[in-house]
């Protein structure tokens, strides 16, 4: 069953919504098969896959390339894509770029920022484009070092007001990143759209993590959980391959194809006569 926004809204405060970042076709196939609700092509592709220093280096071309690969692997999940740095600086540019993503197969677009993004969300909504807001820690604005948001009265109030304004502007989902659990719970209870937390505690309507972090690629983070030791397992496989090729134990006859003996005899005879 294809998951759309209406379906995701029925899950609010009923059943947690599962979201994972995804950057390539084989991983998209696995996430879709596993039943992940939202497969999300995040601009974290820059630091996690492309070797960039931070999110500001990610371009529309990068995002479209990875979105198209992920699209080929997704059948049921809602496919969300990040507007990369400066691709949504003004209304016209945001609408143009979001339409490019929809033409590549995205179901909706996510954009970082607080109350200042209300005009952009309004314009996208007027164009019938489904948006996911993203408040709290915004890597495009705050950089890769993530501090917790919502620890003072003023900051908690600003976050709660921003979430309400973005929802009123038409956002269909909202990511809460690195926000105190208490403030995330208040936002979840006060907006009528699903909240998706990352480092935002237990009471959001859903959770998102970066696929690299659950697989054990790269450094561990407090907000994430490792379900696999990819780095170690992959390094072991690479070392074994290297060793077996170097010492001649790979390939074996089982990895090899043969020409039938009578055909080989003809080749050898022809070779002799041709010399
Ligand atoms: O790009 C990304 O991975 C994100 C998540 C942190 C939500 O925006």
**Structure tokens, 28:** 């998209």
For ligand 1, mutation pick of 70, 207, 210 (most atoms within 8 Å of CB): 210
Active site (catalytic) residues:
177
Specify the ligand 1 atom closest to the Cα of 55. 1
**Mind giving me the DSSP string for 151-217?**
-SHHHHHHHHHHHHHHHHTT-SEEEEESB-HHHHHHHHHH-SS-EEEESS-S-SSEEEE-HHHHHT-
260 and 135 share a domain?
Answer: no
Digit-coded pLDDT (tens) for 13-26: 899 999 999 999 99
127 and 216 share a domain?
Answer: yes
106 and 94 share a domain?
Answer: yes
Distant-in-sequence, close-in-space partners of 25: CB < 8 Å, separation ≥ 6: 69, 70, 72, 73
Direct distance between the N- and C-terminal alpha carbons of the chain, in angstroms, rounded to an integer: 66
pTM over 0.75: yes
Digit-coded pLDDT (tens) for 116-149: 999 999 999 999 999 999 999 999 988 877 799 9
Pairwise CA distance, residues 224 & 239, whole Å: 28
246 and 179 share a domain?
Answer: no
Report the pLDDT value the prediction gives residue 275, as an integer from 0 to 100: 85
Measured in angstroms, how far is the CA atom of residue 271 from the centroid of ligand 1?
A: 62
253 and 222 share a domain?
Answer: no
For ligand 1, mutation pick of 56, 108, 113, 208 (most atoms within 8 Å of CB): 208
- The residue whose C-alpha atom lies closest to atom 4 belonging to ligand 1 is 42
- The residue whose C-alpha atom lies closest to atom 8 belonging to ligand 1 is 42
Q: Give me the number of domains the chain comprises.
A: 2
Domain that holds residue 238: 232-274
Q: Is the pLDDT of residue 172 over 90?
A: yes
Report the pLDDT value the prediction gives residue 47, as an integer from 0 to 100: 96
81 and 184 share a domain?
Answer: yes
CATH number of the domain within which 76 lies: 3.20.20.60
212 and 246 share a domain?
Answer: no
* Number of residues that this document lists for the chain: 275
Measured in angstroms, how far is the CA atom of residue 235 from the centroid of ligand 1?
A: 26
User: How are beta strands 17-21 and 131-136 bridged, if at all?
Assistant: unpaired
Residues with CB under 6 A from ligand 1: 21, 42-44, 82, 175, 177, 198, 208, 210
122 and 239 share a domain?
Answer: no
Please compute the mean of the pLDDT values over residues 170-194 and round it to a whole number.
Answer: 98
56 and 101 share a domain?
Answer: yes
165 and 188 share a domain?
Answer: yes
Q: Is the pLDDT of residue 32 over 90?
A: yes
10 and 131 share a domain?
Answer: yes
What confidence tier does 92 reach under pLDDT thresholds 50, 70, 90?
Answer: very high
192 and 237 share a domain?
Answer: no
């Amino acid at each position: 069953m294809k998951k759309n926004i209406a379906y995701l809204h029925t899950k609010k405060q009923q059943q947690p919504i599962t979201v994972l970042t995804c950057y390539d076709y084989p991983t998209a196939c696995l996430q879709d098969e596993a039943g992940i609700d939202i497969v999300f092509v995040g601009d974290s592709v820059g630091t996690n896959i492309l070797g960039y220093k931070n999110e500001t280096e990610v371009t529309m071309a990068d995002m479209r390339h990875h979105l198209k690969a992920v699209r080929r692997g997704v059948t049921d999940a809602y496919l969300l894509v990040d507007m990369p740095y400066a691709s949504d600086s003004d209304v016209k540019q945001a609408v143009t770029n979001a339409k490019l993503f929809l033409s590549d197969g995205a179901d909706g677009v996510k954009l970082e920022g607080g109350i200042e993004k209300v005009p952009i969300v309004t314009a996208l909504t007027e164009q019938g484009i489904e948006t996911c807001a993203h408040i709290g820690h915004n890597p495009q604005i705050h950089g890769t070092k993530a501090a917790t948001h919502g620890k003072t009265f003023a900051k908690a109030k600003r976050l709660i007001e921003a979430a309400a304004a973005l929802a009123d502007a038409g956002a269909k989902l909202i990511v809460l990143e690195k926000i105190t659990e208490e403030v995330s719970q208040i936002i979840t209870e006060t907006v009528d759209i699903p909240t998706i937390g990352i480092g935002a505690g237990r009471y959001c309507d859903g959770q998102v993590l970066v696929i690299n972090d659950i697989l054990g690629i790269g450094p561990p983070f407090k907000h994430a959980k490792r379900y696999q030791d990819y780095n170690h397992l992959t390094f072991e496989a690479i070392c074994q391959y290297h060793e077996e090729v170097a010492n001649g134990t790979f390939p074996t006859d089982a990895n090899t194809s043969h020409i039938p003996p009578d055909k080989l005899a003809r080749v050898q005879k022809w070779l002799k006569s041709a010399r």
